Structure 1
């Protein structure tokens, strides 16, 4: 008859496997118990059995060379059902549970069985210590008690074995942990020793408990010169200051950074960026001050030199501005007089002059006009860069402003037979007749005059310069398009730079100071706008500027 499973079978099997005893080699401690059991009870056979899921495995077997049997024929499996009692079978052939058991009817010829369960401290029966005979018999009370005691000893051996294994595992883990800790410490020490920073640890009393190799090298010390010492032992002149910084970190409970200046023995001054912060040690019962320091002397000196250069540069720029302003003003007054006088002579106000002289005077008048324009541009640019150019902002409509500008600047195109045309398509297509902005009319006229004169200069004879007004994304855009050859690619990246010209040679066919577009860009940026261009050899060039539309007029 097969023994039923205990109610706690799942838990029992889990605990059995925790002991890691199954399929292990014989051990003398268990073999001694089975020898004693057989001698005390007078039986030829005795076993220490453990009941696994499908088998009965023998940790010790006295009198029979066998390691396991199927659980189905196990007597000890029945002993599991009553963990607190001996299982006694005086005559197996007459016991209905075992009479047809192959262990009884077969070669093993089991006729007598007595088993004491092996019970864990938590009450699970894992197997039994049993004695077996090939003939029916009885045990006296002394033998029964001895069998129980031996079973307790077998269980104690299992417990001892498990505890030894747990201890061995703990020791192995500890050894691994210690090895990992040593490796970690070694890596940390290597990291700190090859780090560019000096590092140290002090206890709450200010004694050094750790410094890295760069610290020792920097201050020309050996480890025994500093460990256990205070700043007062090493640097008495600054010890109080250093101690105050340590206390700042301890009180703050977080990283505290300072730049410290350090006077060397040779009189040189070194600057350090120092960070200090508290560390808990020994389970939080011991507080340390950790510090990291980087010598930033070169950086500080470079910064000081940079500040000196900056001051010198500012002074040079101021002198340049003053020089440009004085020279320009001093030149503009007589040059204006010269230009005006030449105009009177060329215009015949002073009387007729010979033809050859007339030609020379006209050349002089044109060049004086160009010089005057250059000086005016330089003065405007100097005012913009120094922030002294005045702007008079007002609410104005770009549509009439552009129309008036085209009329006022028509004279730029007339000598070149170039016409300025306003494209009215935006009015017809979008129904927009007004473009209101908050801007300076005089400065916008200055920008338009520059863009129109440039477009005229680079347009073919008899061509048109088309001006278009647009509105998009709450911006007003003014476009000035010429039909010229386009801007050379190598010049496009520097077109808004001061004195930039595509042809900078003295024999260039078109005039100009090279400052106009730079001034336009500066004016528009001051007005909150921007300027850019689109160009190509087949499409000519379109310069456009954008200004924010007034929200109330959008």
Structure 2
């Protein structure tokens, strides 16, 4: 479990105060954060990406892909470790091998996290509020470019937080000043015909640094940088004389009390009162807005650089089907230049790009609403398809298309991502060829090795039956050893064949009713159960699991045979079988009261041909539990055992539901 204590004494209260100050916890999803986790998942090629914030008791997800829950307890959060090293990316290549996380329920049970990489979200004042992280269910590493990109996106999350807080603070400020002055956040400065200040509101001090009372009677030039004074004086004279139209608000510069210049937006209004002509300047400090614009431009530049340098093809289109973006990877993948595609609707050059073309997106919108729905469920859905390049060649791609929407739910376009899976397809073809070779080998072993063995056993048994009286004691002993050895070798070959079939066989998924499966296995062994006088204790409720039936049958059969073999000396032998529903599947146990084993040999017993007892005491080849482990692995589950020598053993297998699309295929 992760420790929930702060990194250093006294730092946690101020960190939590800072977190609360951003008013981000338990807020609704925002597209800007969702876009960042989408980019992080795609760049790092990870099924799970999160923007998380850590408070006293939990980590809460502002944006997430690949994870259903909105929050988890802090004491099991990987991110609780990441915020303690805010200056470095926390990478966990394999959580099962990391003492900090090996017992974490996020690792030992669903979602079975194995890999983690997270960068701390550090505010300008040094508080680590949470992380931007990616996770995977297999051990792996990020390359240097992915690490750099993840850290860059983390900085953008902090920028979004700052912008979000700035906008919120600005709104609060505006609301307060609206009650005081009609010109909400503006400095209102009124000057007479001599350009001397006769009125200034409180906002003038926040912009220019002068107290309103100190400004009364001072020339307006006090608030204008020298290089703009002449131009601004001429504008005021023209407005007073009526020779110029009342100007619109214009971007100007103000002069602060400390001598610095300020980016401002100034509106000038003429007011005639008591035969006096006054001018009212409404001045707004836009330096913050300019700073935001600069940061937004920098963010847009970064996002564009990510798109331009992404390894996958990224194509964006408007709702009307106009291609708006065709990144360099797309140009390399499909052979079209951006000029041939961008800005066009159903151009001939795009027709060959199949479903990635913006024209196809526009003409078949229902087909691309499915990925958008998938996005709401945790990530855009993907499908494999073949795309035609400009030169007519075909390439297999993994395609994901998402409908883009604004904050009001209105569709603003589509985003398509395609990854060239040619190498993966070649690897799959090679694997199929290897599996075919393995099946051929199994056939050869079955027919070319077992036939001679049957001949040897037959001749030996013939000698024992018909010529036993003419054989000496030594000869009879040798024949018995030959028969025993050939039978053992025959069983060894059979176990090897079972193991090789498991490796080569493609699982066929379906709905398996556990009570019926267990009843069939026990019925096949009814004679052995009765002969040994086994006391059965079976509790398997009406569970149905979506899995590979033959693999589960093989695993349970071997476990039950194993229990019968090693408990036959018990008085009486007992066999207990239990099944219960578990997260996304079921948990099955097979226990006996046999000889048991020392737990230090736990991993060894699942190895091929590993035995803890002598063959003369207990028959077998040592392949039974290895076949169990291989079958359970192909089911996507896990197996483990608990035992005390002389007190029996219990084996547990956890079988997940295989995805519906796997079963359908």
TM range, normalised to the smaller chain? 0.3 to 0.5
Indicate the structure (1 or 2) with the bigger Cα radius of gyration. Answer: 1
TM-score by length of 1: 0.46
TM-score by length of 2: 0.40
